């Protein structure tokens, strides 16, 4: 029987381990933290599920939806921006709120979805001879400047794009990659409707899905951060921070790409893989969950809404190199 060591018990590692086990492999799953789930963990606070990481499922998340259904869990629909989302002008102090978009921003959003500079036009141009290279050479920042998105919605848009692309500045993001990503969601208009409108979430929490997957496996070995992977034609030996060594035929590394940079490989991974790993970063965002009395929320200048997790692109900023999101009065 083939023995596979899976490193990382986030959703990816858990899914890989379950599929390998179902295919008849012996599986050993190692996790650095003292709990499973990775960036899809939940906490129950006073009967309310608080998501610590991944939460929203958009339409193209078909495999996630299937996983949720197979686990006997439930999806519910919510709005990412419920109530009157208010954007604060960058660096604004209490009380001075920008309306949700100036006229020039709304005009830019129309250009985003219609006409020669729309994302659909970018995708169409990429299909022409040498077109893909040309669109790849353009950055999302150039494109946003080109469509004239330079009003109050620009900081929010930049922050959202950074969220999607691992904390990157729009100037670093390929327009082609962006257009393809949005294209996968339908088109620009549907993306805006979906992204800012309705979205689904797992009622029992993303952590419940992870727990369900783990139930189908031998016990996950937690507190077992992998520090070294030795590999040759005969198999692999994986060493943890506690100096335990696990041997197997194959290893699946289901850790975030930047982490691969701190794991020692013997022999080393090919240089191109190392280069990719060091170029990829984690996104810069802080998720804030706050329970606020509804009347208080209505009076507050920061946000209004029904759910506890809220976005304020306009009021976020860089503190100590990290993007933070402020809620309520500064
Ligand atoms: C705040 C936030 C909000 C998000 N919102 C959404 C959302 O709304 N919708 C959406 O689709 N996605 C969202 N995401 C992204 C989503 O959560 C992730 O894409 C997904 O959880 C990644 O799963 P993964 O298994 O690939 O990685 P991870 O969940 O990061 O799992 C990797 C696991 O490997 C472990 N590990 C790391 N190093 C080692 C080591 N050396 N040895 C052993 N184990 C190790 C980690 O502890 C972790 O458990 C969000 C993420 C965050 C952080």
Q: Answer yes or no: do 150 and 10 share one domain.
A: no
- Tell me the pLDDT band of 203, cut-offs 50, 70 and 90: very high
Q: Is the pLDDT higher at 201 or at 161?
A: 201
Nearest to 75 by CA among 59, 88, 86, 99: 59
Determine whether 295 is exposed, middle or buried from the number of CB atoms within 10 Å of its CB (0-12, 13-18, 19+): exposed
Average pLDDT over residues 34-59: 88
Q: Answer yes or no: do 189 and 293 share one domain.
A: yes
Residue-level pLDDT at 179 = 86
CB–CB of 63/41 below 8 Å?
Answer: no
CB–CB of 9/37 below 8 Å?
Answer: yes
Q: Answer yes or no: do 244 and 170 share one domain.
A: no
Would the pLDDT of 329 be above 50?
no
Q: Which residues line ligand 1 (CB under 6 A)?
A: 7-13, 30-33, 38-40, 53-56, 225-226, 254-256, 259, 263, 285, 287
Q: How far is the CA of 12 from the centre of ligand 1 (A)?
A: 8
- Three-state secondary structure call for residue 32: coil
Interval 206-230: pLDDT, tens: 999 999 999 999 999 999 999 999 9
Q: Answer yes or no: do 236 and 316 share one domain.
A: no
Residue-level pLDDT at 185 = 60
Would the pLDDT of 2 be above 90?
yes
Indicate which CATH number applies to the domain containing 235: 3.50.50.60
Q: Average pLDDT over the chain, rounded to whole?
A: 78
Closest ligand 1 atom to 36 CA: 49
Domain holding 113, by residue range, is: 82-196+283-325
> Does residue 63 lie within any of the structural domains?
no
> Does residue 52 lie within any of the structural domains?
no
Q: Which of 11, 39, 284 to mutate to test the pocket of ligand 1 (most atoms within 8 A of CB)?
A: 39
Q: How far is the CA of 169 from the centre of ligand 1 (A)?
A: 21
Q: Answer yes or no: do 266 and 249 share one domain.
A: yes
Interval 74-133: pLDDT, tens: 998 876 554 334 444 444 444 334 445 567 888 888 888 888 888 888 888 888 877 888
Residue-level pLDDT at 55 = 85
Peptide bond into 155 cis (omega under 30): no
> Does residue 50 lie within any of the structural domains?
no
Average pLDDT over residues 30-40: 97
Average pLDDT over residues 310-324: 37
Determine whether 243 is exposed, middle or buried from the number of CB atoms within 10 Å of its CB (0-12, 13-18, 19+): exposed
Q: Answer yes or no: do 32 and 119 share one domain.
A: no
What domain count does the chain have? 2
> Does residue 55 lie within any of the structural domains?
no
> Which of 75-84, 280-289, 320-329 bottoms out in mean pLDDT, i.e. has the lowest?
320-329
Would the pLDDT of 243 be above 70?
yes
Residue-level pLDDT at 205 = 94
Return d(Cα 26, Cα 217) in angstroms, integer. Answer: 10
Q: Answer yes or no: do 93 and 145 share one domain.
A: yes
* Tokens read off for 263: 């794991």
> Does residue 139 lie within any of the structural domains?
yes
Tokens 């921003």 appear where?
Answer: 105
- Tell me the pLDDT band of 184, cut-offs 50, 70 and 90: low
Q: Answer yes or no: do 275 and 291 share one domain.
A: no
- Closest residue by CA, ligand 1 atom 48: 38
Return d(Cα 237, Cα 247) in angstroms, integer. Answer: 4
Indicate which CATH number applies to the domain containing 318: 1.10.405.10
H/E stretch holding 84 reads none
95, 148, 154, 162, 200 from 303: Cα distances, Å: 11, 27, 18, 22, 21
Taken in order 105, 110, 116, 119, the sign of the CA dihedral is positive
Q: Strands 245-248 and 235-240: what pairing?
A: antiparallel
Return d(Cα 238, Cα 234) in angstroms, integer. Answer: 13
Q: Answer yes or no: do 290 and 189 share one domain.
A: yes
Count Cα atoms within 13 angstroms, Cβ side, for 305. 22
> Does residue 321 lie within any of the structural domains?
yes
> Does residue 210 lie within any of the structural domains?
no
Residue-level pLDDT at 104 = 80
Q: Answer yes or no: do 14 and 86 share one domain.
A: no
Q: Which of 7, 10, 225, 251 to mutate to test the pocket of ligand 1 (most atoms within 8 A of CB)?
A: 10
Residue-level pLDDT at 187 = 56
> Does residue 71 lie within any of the structural domains?
no
Q: How far is the CA of 17 from the centre of ligand 1 (A)?
A: 16
Return d(Cα 152, Cα 170) in angstroms, integer. Answer: 16
Cα Rg for the chain, rounded, in angstroms?
A: 22
H/E stretch holding 80 reads none
Closest ligand 1 atom to 14 CA: 25
> Which of 22-36, 111-125, 306-320 bottoms out in mean pLDDT, i.e. has the lowest?
306-320
Would the pLDDT of 303 be above 90?
no
Q: Is the pLDDT higher at 57 or at 277?
A: 57
50, 158, 159 from 151: Cα distances, Å: 33, 12, 14
The C-alpha angle with vertex 140 and arms to 135 and 146, in degrees rounded to 5, equals: 90
> Which of 3-7, 158-162, 314-318 bottoms out in mean pLDDT, i.e. has the lowest?
314-318
Q: Answer yes or no: do 138 and 105 share one domain.
A: yes
101, 156, 282, 322 from 326: Cα distances, Å: 19, 13, 20, 12
- Closest residue by CA, ligand 1 atom 10: 54
CB–CB of 48/201 below 8 Å?
Answer: no
Q: Answer yes or no: do 175 and 321 share one domain.
A: yes
Q: How far is the CA of 39 from the centre of ligand 1 (A)?
A: 3
């Amino acid at each position: 029987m083939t023995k596979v060591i899976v490193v990382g018990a986030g959703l990816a590692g858990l899914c890989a381990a379950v599929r390998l086990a179902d295919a008849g492999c012996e599986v050993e799953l190692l996790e650095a933290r003292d709990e499973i789930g990775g960036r899809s963990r939940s906490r129950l606070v006073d009967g309310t599920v608080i998501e610590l990481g991944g939460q929203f499922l958009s339409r193209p998340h078909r495999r996630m939806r299937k996983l949720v259904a197979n686990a006997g869990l439930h999806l519910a629909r919510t709005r990412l921006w419920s109530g009157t989302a208010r954007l604060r002008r960058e660096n604004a102090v209490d009380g001075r709120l920008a309306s949700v978009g100036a006229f020039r921003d709304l005009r830019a959003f129309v250009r985003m979805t219609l006409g020669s500079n729309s994302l659909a036009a970018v995708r169409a141009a990429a299909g022409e001879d040498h077109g893909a290279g040309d669109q790849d050479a353009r950055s999302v920042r150039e494109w946003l400047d080109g469509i004239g998105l330079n009003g109050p919605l620009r900081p929010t848009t930049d922050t959202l794009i950074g969220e999607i692309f691992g904390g990157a500045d729009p100037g670093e993001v390929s327009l082609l990659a962006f257009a393809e990503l949005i294209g996968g969601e339908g088109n620009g208009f549907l993306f805006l409707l979906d992204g800012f409108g309705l979205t689904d979430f797992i009622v029992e929490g993303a952590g419940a899905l992870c727990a369900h997957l783990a139930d189908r496996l031998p016990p996950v070995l937690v507190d077992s951060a992998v520090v070294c992977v030795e590999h040759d034609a005969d198999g692999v030996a994986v060493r943890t921070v506690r100096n335990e060594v696990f041997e197997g035929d194959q290893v699946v590394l289901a850790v975030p790409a930047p982490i691969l940079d701190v794991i020692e490989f013997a022999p080393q991974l090919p240089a191109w893989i190392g280069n990719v790993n060091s170029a990829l970063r984690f996104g810069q965002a802080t998720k804030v969950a706050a329970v606020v009395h509804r009347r208080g929320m209505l009076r507050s200048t920061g946000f209004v809404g029904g759910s506890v997790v809220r976005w304020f692109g306009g009021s976020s900023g860089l503190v100590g190199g990290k993007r933070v999101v402020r809620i309520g009065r500064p």
